[in-house]
């Protein structure tokens, strides 16, 4: 009896995968747009080929080990005076190995007072979380941190 139920389980799993695969293949082309770029292309699309400098002014806070990939708190703080002439224009957050690497683009103004953004992201597997910062003078700074994920959070 046990063997029978075991075999039935296998059969169902095989059937399920057989059914699922074509639908996934069918579904794939539709969302394949700018959102399925890899991390390098995504960063290039934003910077327009400009040089990105790793800067210690960008503080990326993320846990080193995340038990649950569905909820990973990430915060980005940038040292900047945030005056009208010198401020942080945008903070972009990426998850380097997610299906869609882009998490959020935050457009800031001097009215923020301090350049900070915090949110919770989903991570599919262990990967780097990257923050790309655009200053008002057109420079690009970045910071990255590896996050180990025990249970993936996608799908």
Partner 1 sequence: MGKRKSLIKVKPKKYKTGDIVKVSFMVMHPMATGTGKDKKTGKLIPAHYVNEVKFLFNGKPFTTMKTWESLSSNPVFTINFKVPGKGELKVVYTDNQGEVNESTKKIKPKG
Question: Cα(132)–Cα(86) distance, rounded to whole angstroms?
Answer: 17
Using CB under 8 A as the binding rule, whether residue 144 contacts partner 1 is answered as: no
Part in contact with partner 1 (CB under 8 A); list of ranges 12-20, 44-52, 54-62, 135-143? 12-20
* 73, 120 Cβ separation under 8 angstroms: yes
Q: How far is the CB of 115 from partner 1 (least distance, A)?
A: 7
Using CB under 8 A as the binding rule, whether residue 100 contacts partner 1 is answered as: yes
**Strand boundaries in the chain, DSSP class E:** 52-54, 58-61, 65-68, 72-78, 88-95, 102-107, 115-121, 127-135, 140-151
Q: How far is the CB of 99 from partner 1 (least distance, A)?
A: 7
Which of residues 9, 11, 31, 81 is near partner 1 by CB under 8 A?
A: 31
Which two tokens mark 146? 């590896």
Which two tokens mark 1? 């009896």
Which of residues 102, 132, 136, 147 is near partner 1 by CB under 8 A?
A: 102
Q: How far is the CB of 67 from partner 1 (least distance, A)?
A: 14
How many C-beta atoms lie closer than 10 Å to residue 92's C-beta? 23
Using CB under 8 A as the binding rule, whether residue 107 contacts partner 1 is answered as: yes
Which of residues 95, 131, 143, 149 is near partner 1 by CB under 8 A?
A: 95
Close Cβ partners of 134 (under 8 Å, ≥ 6 residues apart):
46, 47, 88, 89, 90, 91, 92, 140
Residues that bind partner 1 (CB under 8 A): 16, 19-20, 23-24, 27, 31, 35, 70-72, 75, 82, 95, 98-109, 111-122, 153-155
């Amino acid at each position: 009896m046990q063997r029978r139920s075991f075999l039935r389980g296998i059969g169902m799993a095989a059937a399920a995968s057989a059914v699922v695969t074509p639908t996934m293949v069918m579904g794939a082309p539709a969302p394949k747009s700018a959102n399925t770029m890899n991390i390098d292309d995504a960063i290039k699309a934003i910077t327009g080929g400009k040089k990105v400098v790793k800067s210690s002014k960008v503080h990326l806070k993320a846990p080193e080990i995340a038990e649950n990939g569905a909820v990973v708190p990430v915060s980005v703080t940038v040292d900047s005076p945030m005056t009208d002439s010198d401020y942080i224009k945008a903070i972009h957050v990426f998850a380097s190995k997610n299906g869609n690497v882009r998490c959020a683009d935050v457009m800031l103004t001097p009215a923020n007072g301090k350049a900070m953004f915090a949110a919770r992201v989903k991570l599919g597997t262990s990967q780097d979380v990257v923050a790309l910062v655009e200053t008002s003078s057109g420079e690009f700074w970045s910071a990255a941190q590896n996050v180990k994920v025990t249970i993936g959070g996608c799908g």
